[in-house]
Amino acid sequence: MNTIFYFDQNHFFIFLIGFVLIVCSLVSFEVFKKYKLSLCILFIAGLFLCSFMALLDPFLNNWDEQFHALVAKNLLLHPLVPTLYENPILTYDANSWISNHIWLHKQPLFLWQIALSLKLFGMNEFVVRIPSIIMMSILPIFIYRIGKISLSEKIGYYGAVLFCSAFYVHEMLTGFPPSDHNDIAFLFYITASIWAWVEYESSKKKYWLLLIGLFSGGAVLIKWLTGLLVYAGWGLTIILDKKRRRTLHEYKSIILSFIVAAIVFIPWQIYISYAFPVESSYEYSLNSKHFFQVVEDHGGDAFFYFDNLRKTYGGGQLVPFLILFSLLFFYKNIITDTFKIAFFSFIIIVYLFFSLAATKMSGFCYIVSPFVFLSLASLIDNVLSYLKVKVFRKELLQNIFSVILIVVIAWGNLDLYKIAYKHTMLIRPDDNDKRIDKINDALFIKSIKNILPSEDYVIFNCKAQKNISIMFYTNNIAYDKPLNYNDYTYLKNKKTKLAIIDNGTLPDFIQKDSSIIKIKAPDSTW
């Protein structure tokens, strides 16, 4: 069956518009040489493709999207107090990020962004994904500018198209992989800080120092100190260049920019250390444990990230070797030693650090993906240049072939079959991460708001982890555990209004209490 028939017709139409716009952007760039127009079209194409992905799952995914969504929702009530359980009525473990009250498991900037989106557009899963849609659509522009300044306009543009059509980053937008919108925001702010640095190196205009600091500080406010990556590469360009390391101005510039970054991220660290000492102390210690211990079973060997290149950049066995090969062309095409030192420092530092770390996750090294795409773009540009000299004589034929080749690569890069496999029911429905259960659970969860007479009921006996989604879609407190007799007595004495998901196995003391609202479970999985 053709892949397009795996998607709803209207839904697929959104994808089709996005992909046609990529083709239009390529034609504008290659044939008509309208570079600014091409970039504008590519941005709009990104909005359509990202919206297509964001609409795939009509539910909040378990890890970690629903937690991020709930904390962001609660931030609307008090922007400086991130909470998971807004009003925990039972005792809880302050160090458990899946069941606590004060939630500091992630830095807050991306949560504030989601909260703003919820404030403007309402409470649903698509709105949670809107900040990621916007950031992912802007990222190709950053990649284009980095490539244009440091390599060539064509390489920058090809790299932008490759990113715009990349399966893995679109998959993060759905909320399906762990970290999801947190990883997208981290990639955005790190790339933005590097883009600002490249602009500064090109123009030496002082305002770029401010932007480097703002973006890098923002990256720290998303996923901690790796957000300062730009300063590592920048610092090495100074140290390894005899002329630059003897120039006081170079040190003043990097220090000034770092001070701006510190002003952005340090106040939050001071605030939470005083306001929430128990939770903040635990989370800081957990961050350091990631390097020395395997956290939450996310481990792997020294070749984890090399093998992971197949997952993040394509499924073929030769993908890691193709990327390594493309790095040779990347190095050759970079126009200055400064950019060579910085870009390869970024790649080596990230892969070396996370390969040495005990805890490993697929998205950790994706923060240097812009350079991987620019490397692949360098390879493509060199191949096209060779073919234009050896095969094609007329410029129009050269341009048409370039458009066709990039379109074919972009189509394969998006991997519609894999998208359909993970986000529809028409390909191997029995091996689809229980998608049908997720859809049915979401329909049931969204109906609870209409079943309960008020928002002050506390819900028990929820399906594992589905209590988080219930608290997002309703304003009720919900627990994914049975209501035992001791808690029942305690809550009755406090005159707490109780509701319970009735899966057919309720104890007698609950069945006999007519004041408890029994919500019929939709199926036996609850």
Query: What's the pLDDT at 289?
Result: 87
Contact 199, 208 (CB under 8 A): yes
The separation between CA 430 and the C-alpha centre of its own chain, rounded to angstroms, equals: 27
Same domain flag for 326 and 459: no
Same domain flag for 38 and 109: yes
Same domain flag for 444 and 408: no
The candidate with the shortest Cα–Cα distance to 474, out of 512, 519, 510, is: 519
Instruction: Say if residue 108 is exposed, middle or buried (CB neighbours under 10 Å; 0-12, 13-18, 19+).
Output: buried
For the chain, the domain total comes to: 2
Same domain flag for 379 and 514: no
Name the one residue in this structure whose structure tokens are 């909470």.
83
Query: What's the pLDDT at 429?
Result: 73
Q: Is 478 helix (H, G, I), strand (E, B) or coil?
A: strand
Same domain flag for 504 and 377: no
- Inside any domain, residue 273: yes
Tell me the β-bridge partners of 499: 459, 517
Query: The pTM is what?
Result: 0.95
- Inside any domain, residue 268: yes
Whether the bond into 64 is cis, omega within 30 of 0: yes
Which residues neighbour 516 within 8 Å (Cβ) at sequence distance 6 or greater? 498, 499, 500, 510
What is the rounded CA–CA span in Å between residue 279 and residue 500? Answer: 30
Query: What's the pLDDT at 8?
Result: 80
Q: Is 207 helix (H, G, I), strand (E, B) or coil?
A: helix
Tell me the β-bridge partners of 520: 502
- Inside any domain, residue 430: no
Query: What's the pLDDT at 411?
Result: 95
- Inside any domain, residue 225: yes
Same domain flag for 496 and 418: no
From 423, 452, 485, give the residue that closes a domain: 423
- Inside any domain, residue 525: no
- Inside any domain, residue 38: yes
- Inside any domain, residue 526: no
What is the rounded CA–CA span in Å between residue 214 and residue 216? Answer: 6
Same domain flag for 80 and 144: yes
Query: What's the pLDDT at 293?
Result: 85
Q: How many helices (DSSP H) and strands (DSSP E) are in the chain?
A: 22, 4
Same domain flag for 219 and 182: yes
Domain enclosing residue 486, as ranges? 435-520
The candidate with the shortest Cα–Cα distance to 83, out of 407, 511, 477, is: 477
Name the one residue in this structure whose structure tokens are 């029994």.
518
From 394, 423, 452, give the residue that closes a domain: 423
Give the end-to-end CA distance of the chain in Å, rounded to a whole number: 35
Same domain flag for 381 and 346: yes
From 373, 401, 423, give the residue that closes a domain: 423
String of DSSP letters for 397-456? HHHHHHHHHHHHHHHHHH-HHHHHHHH-SSSSGGGSTTHHHHHHHHHHHHHHHHHSSSTT
What is the rounded CA–CA span in Å between residue 365 and residue 113? Answer: 23
Query: What's the pLDDT at 3?
Result: 52
Instruction: Say if residue 420 is exposed, middle or buried (CB neighbours under 10 Å; 0-12, 13-18, 19+).
Output: buried
Same domain flag for 383 and 447: no
- Inside any domain, residue 418: yes
Q: Per residue of the chain (526 residues), what is the pLDDT tens digit? A: 455 556 888 889 999 999 999 999 999 999 999 999 999 999 999 999 999 999 999 999 988 999 999 999 999 999 999 999 999 999 999 999 999 999 999 999 999 999 999 999 999 999 999 999 999 999 999 999 999 999 999 999 999 999 999 999 999 999 988 878 999 999 999 999 999 999 999 999 999 999 999 999 999 999 999 999 999 999 999 999 999 999 999 999 999 999 999 999 999 999 999 999 999 999 999 888 888 888 877 888 889 999 999 989 987 788 999 999 999 999 999 999 999 999 999 999 999 999 999 999 888 999 999 999 999 999 999 999 988 877 777 788 888 999 999 999 999 999 998 898 889 887 777 777 788 899 999 999 999 999 999 999 999 999 999 999 999 999 999 999 999 999 999 999 999 999 999 998 899 999 999 999 999 999 888 8
Same domain flag for 324 and 403: yes
Q: Which amino acid is residue 37, in one-letter code?
A: L
The candidate with the shortest Cα–Cα distance to 192, out of 166, 178, 212, is: 212
Same domain flag for 416 and 439: no
